[in-house]
Structure 1
Amino acid sequence: MKKLLFVLLLFMSMGMQAQTPLTLEEIYTGAFRAKGMDELQAMKLSNQYTVLNTDRSTRSQQIDLYDYATLKKISTLLDTKNHQALSEGIDSYTFSSDEKQILIANNSSPIYRHSFTADYYVYEVATKSLRKVLEQVQEPIFSPDGTKIAYAKSNNLFIYDLASGQSTALTTDGEKNAIINGITDWVYEEEFAFVRAFDWSKDSQKIAFIRFDEREVPEFSMDVYGKNLYPNQERFKYPKAGEKNALVSLHIYDVKTGAKKEVNLSQYNDFYIARMRWTNDANVLCAQVLNRHQNNLDLLFIDGTTAVAQVVLNEKDKAYVDVTDNLTFLKDNSFIWTSEKDGWNHIYLYDKTGKLKNQVTKGNWEVTAYYGFDEKTKTVFYQSTENGSTLRDVYRIGLDGKKKVKLSNQAGTSAATFSPNFEFFIHSYSSATVPPTYTLNQAKDGAQVQRIVDNSALTEKLKKYDLPTKEFLVITTEKGHQLNAWMIKPKNFDATKKYPVFMYQYSGPGSQQVANDWLDTNDYWFMMLAQQGYITVCVDGRGTGFKGAAFKKCTQKELGKYEVEDQIDAAKVIGSYAYVDKNRIGIFGWSYGGFMASNCLFKGADVFKMAIAVAPVTNWRFYDSIYTERYLQTPQENPSGYDENSPINHVSKLKGSFLLIHGTADDNVHVQNSMQMIEALVQANKQFDWAIYPDKNHGIYGGKTRLQLYTKMTNFIKEKL
């Protein structure tokens, strides 16, 4: 009997040793990074695509051309080892319309989240010649005829003539923190997610651009400490909720004559130009104009000669209207548009006058990506949540809304890049248990032709870690709300034990954290915590996305109220599980999630034992106008919506352990949020922990920063939970 017991214990010991523990060093130095297809671009004039490949042995990069039908490499269009000027690599590249020239960016220098300056080279595909054309400029783009490049520099717009090598200024009044031509200001870039605010007409004869007058926008200052004796101070225009925005105007420049016309938008007051581009008609410009509350959107068509605008489509909503990037013009200038107007995001077809022709997709599910329209077969290709809000599948459907075909067949997250002739698509797929794979599939029925890239090496590498899996579930709160969730339990889970629970969430409007796709870096951290005896849970509460407009927009004017209720109520449900120690529940979040974690610990003081808040908004009055007012309107109109839901006003309720973290160079959620929170906590005589990262932005990274940060957070969890 003793011998049998010894053998059994030895066997169990060997089994336990088989699980190699994850380390923070591995996680945050990219040891588990999945392979992908970098800079995949479908060509427009041939049934081909390009990929930016890297040869680590020669420390070079190649833009390689492949055939969609066979996946065979046709040629290497450019190899950096043949061009000393590109020895530092290729940051990005774009083709001219005729695909005979490539505009290549390198030596990029970031500005904010999306914006950067870079040096640019033009590469002639036929002659393999490379020449530097522009230094440290923004957003250059070929004219459709391939003879010129429009670009921005120092808040002005220019046209570079490829034949003469000369630049012509379109504007001359650009000035830092005053006037910006053709590039968005800080708040547009962050919240409307675009930088290039200029566009060529299809005949290369005109350029339309947005001008920002931000002279009356309040200025924010930020110290940059560096290593010098005295710090530098960065100053930039940042409109906080209720403050003045930049005055925007829309202009059309005639390339031949140099004449400029301003589009008459005098019917609008305190408005946003959220999108702008030329249509297929070379003389028709379109723009999406939003009122300040963002609950009224006009799609304008503007005559390129007279600069006269007319409204062709209007959308209103009691909460807000989302700007769409899925506006697609057909040959006759009729257009495809996506909208939530029936309560779910769907595809609509309008004629060129704005008259509705057809609602293409319908149902209690959301279109999550629009992939394109095949003129030959009158077919639309898209991605949706038709099989569940945590899943993504690829479909084709007739423009008349008939003959729908599901093109993906694996439960998880599928996405597609279609060939120019819409005969094939590159199918990317992953799930919580399957790392990303890329296959070639037929567009008519989704049938797989062959595999392109998989991550079998990563799968094999992970075997020794014997990682736990994400379990997907629906949590029903005491109030009856059904919320998507995932849970990661220790691999050696024992239902008779009581486990501490570490909750993670983001919870921002329209966001989603509970999705059946491959692991991100945080997921490996959560699994490391599971190896150390913690259960990790993520819950998407009310206000998050992909479950219809009503679910997403119910938080309107009360940002943070219902989301916090749902996290507290979900924690109570989880705490009732027999295997959970309800006295040891913690919560963590970053940015909006940091705002949530703070509020949950303060308002749910009897539920949560600890919280970690990274880069949190602590008072919505401190955050930018476009984002905050979309959901709360202005502080002048809705003061209680701001103050009742801002954690800085609830510090007196703190009972548990609190770790507050922020970077001093956060241009997005200013460190002011944490500094004022710290003062409020001090004056409430509350003990807490905090960490400030000098000169780090909203992402808090660089060098060993992430490793040090996650080590600090891990130690805090072990000590306090």
Structure 2
Amino acid sequence: MKRFFWTAVLLFPLVSAMFAGNLNLAEISKWQYRGDGIRAVKTAQDGETYTQLSSDGRKVESHSFKTGKTVSVLFDLDVVKTAGVDYIDGYMVSPNGRQMLIQTHTESIYRHSFKAEYYLYNMGSNRMVPLSKNGPQQTPLFSPDGSLVAFVRDGNIFLVKLLYDNAEVQVTKDGKRNAIINGIPDWVNEEEFANDRSMIFTADSRVLVWVKYDESKVKQYSMPLFKGLNPEYKQYDEYPGAYTYKYPVAGADNATTSVWSFDIASRQTRQLQVPIDADGYVPRIKQMGDASKVMVTTLNRHQDCLRIYAVNPLSTLCQLLIEERDAKYVKEECVSSLVVTNRYILLPSQRDGWLHLYLYNTNGQLLRQVETGNYDVADVYGVDDATGDVYYASHEQGAVEQQVYVAHSNGKRNCLTPKKGWNSAIFAKGFKYFINQWSDINTPAVFSLCDQRGKTLSTLVDNRELNGWLKSMNLGKRELFTLTTADGVNLNGWMVKPADFNPSKKYPVIMFQYSGPGSQSVKNAWGVGMAGQGAMLEQYLAQRGYLCVCVDGRGTGARGAEFEKCTYLQMGELESHDQVEAALWLAKQEYVDGQRMAIWGWSFGGFNTLMSMSEGRGVFRAGIAIAPPTSWKYYDTIYTERFMRTPKENPDGYDINPIKRAAQLQGSLLLCHGMADDNVHFRNTAEYTEALVQADKDFSQLVYTNRNHSIAGGNTRNHLFRQCVKFFDKELK
């Protein structure tokens, strides 16, 4: 499903035509109001500089963390001319700073994974050669000493030895599509643990360690593919084809996992003795400072027990360092935000009811709880081995606010970004500097260079041009608010009012929501709304006379474990109840027409749209569900079972779904789905529409050829949004 922790890896430049008048839906669909940013920023080993991809995608530049100015150009396509390379999609600098991998001709696979052609560039000789001539590669990885590169191709791991004329060695030979995968996760592990690499080197570069996924017993799912137009698949011109892959639905067989090592000098392969449940997971493996160990994390299938092991990759022996249990489930962020350094292990945990940080030594001994209070930590940036100081972001100033903090080893804490709004950071090695990204609900992102005390040294991007344009437009006011339901539950929300808002008028309301476990749609940040960009799609609707609202109900994040996990084993029940309660609260406001209210959402938001329209109180005249799950029996094991356990264990919980409630649907409905959605399969909409037909319920439907969960590409997103606007106009005006 959706990811909620922000990571500053790739931000795109503004491509906006500045004009006066009303907003343009096609430009909103093409993200032309998101603002300027910085591309592919990576911190350098020296702690004083960072590297960045130039805006034209042809140079890799080194910049000073102190001034932001260009120190040097590390790579320039106009200087290093290589046949077939005309654009840089990404890059990776070796730990020793002598080599660079240049990524081009990238082909997306799933949400995180892709394959590409990589070129190895020697910064001393200005020589660039293909990393491999035997086909595209996945997840290349430099060894710590910079002498080796490991990568995956067709489910097998390969090593390129840079000191031996780039000799290519095949490490595994059992990789086979839809059967065995080495070094990269299968679909469900990639999607739900937000990870596309499952291999590491030991700290001394002597041993390669990886996870093997045996998905031979996982059942397959096939999606039809047609010729289409953008892109066009000419091989399907006469007959359609299909894409088939392994997808374990709730309660079904998962891939079995095991952990292996390869001694590079002796070429010996070993299976490590990690205690993994037969149906358990290995969500992460990590390098440790001690070259004789690697860290392996495991989760049981219920995901209520996280274990962290130190494993010797040569002896294969395993030692349990930390065991983390939860009465319901361990949040995915407790795994994805786990930090390991030479001296410390930093673990996020909800053990006291809030997501806080706990610092251990590398023997698994708890040293201290880093910070405490009735708030959640939002992101983890690391721990300074030299001082024991911990850097992180949290919601200490309120759930809709996010600030960057340092917690010192002496117990004192400092807020490094005190300005109200939404802050995140990219820290230099050694934490001497950081890049701060700040925005609020009315202001596009500002990127600033700061020192370790939070003092601004320079501004990299201020989006002044976009701000000036916004002020010239006929935009409505964005407001944060809170409401209390009839049940006494306090909920956070935001609304966009028309620019000519008149409190004596009655406005139709469109409610956008996502509502999934741990998500957050209400925040004092620029990127809110169905299409982000400062709720620009909502602004477009406001220009058409609508009041647009978003409310985070129970089950969403940033408000502690009790608020987030109260939906456990009954997804959809409280989430839909709270959207109806929010609608009833809105209907009591003097400026709202309670007879003209609609709700919409994408993915989990689509599911909750259907649940809210079938809740029983009939407050919504219309709704739009985009790519909705309609029965959790059709969704994947890891996500679904984290919150619901299996269908066999929790049959009543699984019966809480739109298909079961089809006869209770009230209001006009538009369903939208891509036929090549690898995440929420089209079968969800197909089975739901059949239930609606048999319940004699009218509905409208849009099906998009060859489109995945994002329903994008070519003119697709513009078409989708235009149909949604037309539907709202028809039903609410």
TM-score range, shorter chain: over 0.9
Equivalent residue number for residue 711 of structure 1: 722
Equivalent residue number for residue 114 of structure 2: 116
Query: 1:485 is matched by which residue type in structure 2?
Result: G
- Which residue among 490, 509, 515 is the counterpart of 1:507? 515
Q: Distance in 2 between matches of 1:181 and 1:421?
A: 33
Equivalent residue number for residue 137 of structure 2: 137
Which range moved further: 136-145 or 711-720?
136-145
1:581 and 2:589 are equivalent in the alignment: no
- Secondary structure of the residue aligned to 1:582 is strand
- Provide closer, same or farther for how the CA distance between residues 351 and 505 of structure 1 changes in structure 2, counting only shifts above 3 A: same
Q: Distance in 1 between matches of 2:643 and 2:189?
A: 16
- Which residue among 402, 411, 414 is the counterpart of 1:392? 402
- Which residue among 337, 350, 354 is the counterpart of 1:344? 354
Equivalent residue number for residue 276 of structure 1: 285
Equivalent residue number for residue 621 of structure 2: 609
- Which residue among 474, 487, 505 is the counterpart of 2:482? 474
Give how far 1:168 is off: 1.2
- Provide closer, same or farther for how the CA distance between residues 376 and 289 of structure 1 changes in structure 2, counting only shifts above 3 A: closer
Equivalent residue number for residue 59 of structure 2: 62
1:442 and 2:451 are equivalent in the alignment: yes
Give how far 1:267 is off: 6.3
State which structure, 1 or 2, has the greater radius of gyration over its C-alpha atoms.
1
Q: Distance in 1 between matches of 2:110 and 2:629?
A: 18
Give how far 1:604 is off: 4.1
- Which residue among 293, 298, 309 is the counterpart of 2:307? 298
- Which residue among 531, 540, 544 is the counterpart of 1:528? 540
- Provide closer, same or farther for how the CA distance between residues 555 and 685 of structure 1 changes in structure 2, counting only shifts above 3 A: same
Spell out the pairing of 1:405-416 with structure 2 (5 A cutoff).
Answer: 405-416=414-425
After superposition, give the CA deviation of every residue in 1:511-547 in whole Å (9 maximum; x if it has no partner). 0000111145352111111111100110000000010
CA contact (8 A) 1:503 1:587 kept: yes
Q: Distance in 2 between matches of 1:395 and 1:532?
A: 42
Give how far 1:569 is off: 0.8
Equivalent residue number for residue 7 of structure 1: none
1:625 and 2:637 are equivalent in the alignment: yes
Query: 1:201 is matched by which residue type in structure 2?
Result: T
CA contact (8 A) 2:193 2:336 kept: no
Query: 1:65 is matched by which residue type in structure 2?
Result: S
Query: 2:174 is matched by which residue type in structure 1?
Result: D
1:289 and 2:298 are equivalent in the alignment: yes
Residue segments in structure 2 that go unaligned for 5+ positions in a row: 1-18, 228-233
- Which residue among 251, 256, 272 is the counterpart of 2:260? 251
Using CA pairs below 8 Å that are at least 6 residues apart, which structure has the higher relative contact order?
A: 2
Residue segments in structure 1 that go unaligned for 5+ positions in a row: 1-17
CA contact (8 A) 2:448 2:460 kept: yes
Q: Distance in 1 between matches of 2:616 and 2:438?
A: 39
Identity, in percent, stands at 39
Equivalent residue number for residue 372 of structure 2: 362
Spell out the pairing of 1:190-209 with structure 2 (5 A cutoff).
Answer: 190-209=191-210
- Secondary structure of the residue aligned to 2:270 is strand
Q: Distance in 2 between matches of 1:359 and 1:500?
A: 49
- Which residue among 490, 512, 518 is the counterpart of 2:498? 490
CA contact (8 A) 1:45 1:98 kept: no
CA contact (8 A) 1:86 1:106 kept: no
After superposition, give the CA deviation of every residue in 1:135-159 in whole Å (9 maximum; x if it has no partner). 4111111111211111111111111
Q: Distance in 2 between matches of 1:329 and 1:424?
A: 20
After superposition, give the CA deviation of every residue in 1:352-405 in whole Å (9 maximum; x if it has no partner). 2212111111111111112222334432211111101111111112124x2211
Query: 1:182 is matched by which residue type in structure 2?
Result: G
After superposition, give the CA deviation of every residue in 1:393-450 in whole Å (9 maximum; x if it has no partner). 11112124x2211111211111122222422222111111111111122212x12222
Give how far 1:121 is off: 0.7
- Number of aligned residue pairs: 696
Equivalent residue number for residue 79 of structure 1: 76
CA contact (8 A) 1:396 1:407 kept: yes
Query: 1:362 is matched by which residue type in structure 2?
Result: T
Q: Distance in 2 between matches of 1:409 and 1:62?
A: 35
Query: 2:730 is matched by which residue type in structure 1?
Result: E
Give how far 1:654 is off: 2.0
CA contact (8 A) 2:670 2:701 kept: yes
CA contact (8 A) 1:620 1:646 kept: yes
Q: Distance in 1 between matches of 2:175 and 2:341?
A: 36
After superposition, give the CA deviation of every residue in 1:193-250 in whole Å (9 maximum; x if it has no partner). 1111111111111111111111111111111112511111111110000000011111
Q: Distance in 2 between matches of 1:180 and 1:88?
A: 32
Q: Distance in 2 between matches of 1:306 and 1:591?
A: 46
Equivalent residue number for residue 671 of structure 1: 682
CA contact (8 A) 2:274 2:311 kept: no
Equivalent residue number for residue 308 of structure 1: 317
Q: Where does structure 1 differ by over 6 angstroms across 4 or more consecutive aligned residues?
A: none
Query: 2:588 is matched by which residue type in structure 1?
Result: S
Which range moved further: 240-249 or 308-317?
308-317
After superposition, give the CA deviation of every residue in 1:151-179 in whole Å (9 maximum; x if it has no partner). 11111111112233321111111111111
Q: TM-score normalized by structure 1? A: 0.94
Q: CA RMSD in A?
A: 1.5
1:155 and 2:155 are equivalent in the alignment: yes
Q: Distance in 2 between matches of 1:712 and 1:160?
A: 51
Q: Distance in 1 between matches of 2:571 and 2:86?
A: 45
Give how far 1:46 is off: 4.3
Equivalent residue number for residue 692 of structure 2: 681
Equivalent residue number for residue 9 of structure 1: none
After superposition, give the CA deviation of every residue in 1:537-585 in whole Å (9 maximum; x if it has no partner). 1000000001011111111000111111100111111111111111111
After superposition, give the CA deviation of every residue in 1:33-68 in whole Å (9 maximum; x if it has no partner). 31011111110124111111124xxxx521111111
CA contact (8 A) 1:81 1:87 kept: no
Give how far 1:255 is off: 0.8
- Secondary structure of the residue aligned to 1:335 is strand
- Secondary structure of the residue aligned to 1:480 is coil
